[in-house]
Structures are given as structure tokens and as C-alpha cells.
A and B are shown apart, each in its own frame.
Chain A
Amino acid sequence: GENVEQHPSTLSVQEGDSAVIKCTYSDSASNYFPWYKQELGKRPQLIIDIRSNVGEKKDQRIAVTLNKTAKHFSLHITETQPEDSAVYFCAATAYSSASKIIFGSGTRLSIRP
């Protein structure tokens, strides 16, 4: 089955700087890569996703890039703000096993004022 590794486990950046979180996956058939954000005490929510036929996707200050050859994808947050402080989870699913959604171990992002 799919195995997703996520790094780093914790990340602290100065407000206004950029943050990058990386994930690698094992199943070359994976075609869908979502990112979820979980604020303290809240439920996880989808913030951005990308499919395997696209190399990059942007939504305002967040972007996700995908390198299928290397089997890794990354979340980029620019101009970080205090409300970006949260735990971020990545996942990777293949069409044949799309219902079994297993997450990476998570990255706790802290924004320093």
C-alpha cells in the first residue's frame, strides 16, 4: 500500500517569511495529493490539492508542487501570517485505492511574530 513520509515534523518561521513542507510517496500509481490544515483544537480541513497531470497549483499565498519522477510533492506558504500556525498533513492516493486515505505524520508550523 501507499506510504507517505512528511518532513519536517516541526517548522518555525518568522512572520512574513516562506515555509516549505515536503512529502514523499511510494506508490507510482498515486494521482491525487491533498493537503489538510488543522488549527489547534479544530478539525482538519482541505486547503489545496493537486493531481498528477499538473506540476504546480497556486491559491493566493499557498502553492503545491509535484515531482512525479522523484515521487515527492511540497506545500509552499509565502508571506506567512500568524493564522498560518497549524499542523499540516499531506496524503497521496491512487485511483485504485482512492478510498483508503492515509496521511503523512504531520508538520507543526509556528509563525514567530
Chain B
Amino acid sequence: NAGVTQTPKFRILKIGQSMTLQCTQDMNHNYMYWYRQDPGMGLKLIYYSVGAGITDKGEVPNGYNVSRSTTEDFPLRLELAAPSQTSVYFCASSYSVGAGANVLTFGAGSRLTVL
């Protein structure tokens, strides 16, 4: 049981390039999330998904796209990378502990630098 696996762990992009951050979970969780964490700052929700085929915007969705074709995978696409997207990206999945409460399991993070 690997939990939440993110790839790559590190990546340097040039301005204007595109890339996809991969996220997969093997816990059969319905809910999945992408957060970004700028240096010394908090966790900002980019996109989330409540199940295969369903995605929704979070707090900071601009410049990103997601898809959820399977329960296991939730890739995050960056189009036309900008320096403002330099951050650590965390993927997470969650399970319900009842009454709508969801406990998040995070991946190890992907550190992206845009130069």
C-alpha cells in the first residue's frame, strides 16, 4: 500500500513550457485534491475531485487544468508556466470518517521551479 504517489519530485521549467504533475493513490479514495504551498506560506487548494469524471475549482485554479478519468489518478496540468507557479505541489486523497468529515492523506510533494 503506497498511499499517494506523486511524480516528479523535482522539476525545473522554463517560462512558457507546459508539464503534467502525476498523482496516483491506491487506497480507493473517492476524493482527491491538489494544493500548492509557496515558500513559508500556507496550503492553497487548486482543484479537487469527488470521483471519476468530476472535478471542481478550488481557491487558485488559474493556470492549471485537471482531469479524473479513473479513481486512482488525478494529474495536474500546467500550461504556459510562469514564475508565479514556482511552488511545492501536494496531491492528496481523502476518506470519510462519517458525517461528511474527510481525512486527508498527502503525497510527498513535487517541487516546481519556473525560470
List the interface of chain A (C-beta within 8 A of B). 31-32, 34, 36, 43-46, 49, 51, 89, 93-96, 98-106, 108
Q: Which residues of A contact B53 (CB under 8 A)?
A: none
Closest residue of chain B to A41, judged by CB? B109
Which residues of chain B in 39-56 are interfacial with respect to chain A, using CB atoms and an 8 Å cutoff? 40-43, 45, 48, 50, 56
CA A32 to CA B31, docked complex, whole Å = 16
Q: Which residues of B contact A89 (CB under 8 A)?
A: 42-43
Number of A-B contacts (CB under 8 A): 70
Q: Map CB proximity to A onto B77-115 as digits: 1 under 8 Å, 0 otherwise.
A: 000000000000010001011011111101111000000
CA A44 to CA B35, docked complex, whole Å = 11
Q: Is the CB of A105 within 8 A of B106?
A: no
Q: Is the CB of B99 within 8 A of A51?
A: yes
Whether B58 sits at the interface, judged by CB under 8 Å, is yes
Q: Is the CB of B41 within 8 A of A106?
A: yes
What 7 pairs between A and B have smallest CB-CB spacing?
A: A98-B100, A95-B100, A32-B101, A43-B106, A106-B42, A105-B42, A103-B43
CA A31 to CA B97, docked complex, whole Å = 12
Q: Is the CB of B102 within 8 A of A101?
A: yes
Q: Which residues of B contact A106 (CB under 8 A)?
A: 41-43
Whether B74 sits at the interface, judged by CB under 8 Å, is no
Q: Is the CB of B42 within 8 A of A98?
A: no
- The smallest C-beta distance from A5 to any residue of chain B, in angstroms, reads 11
Q: Tell me whether A101 and B45 are in contact in the complex, defined as CB-CB below 8 angstroms, given that A43-B109, A44-B106 are known contacts.
A: yes
Q: Tell me whether A43 and B108 are in contact in the complex, defined as CB-CB below 8 angstroms, given that A32-B99, A51-B99 are known contacts.
A: yes
Q: Which residues of A contact B100 (CB under 8 A)?
A: 31-32, 93-96, 98
Q: Which residues of B contact A95 (CB under 8 A)?
A: 99-100
CA A96 to CA B99, docked complex, whole Å = 10
23 of the cross-chain contacts (CB-CB < 8 Å) are A31-B99, A31-B101, A32-B101, A34-B101, A43-B106, A43-B108, A49-B101, A95-B100, A96-B100, A98-B96, A98-B101, A99-B48, A100-B45, A100-B48, A100-B56, A101-B48, A101-B104, A102-B45, A103-B35, A104-B42, A105-B41, A106-B41, A106-B43
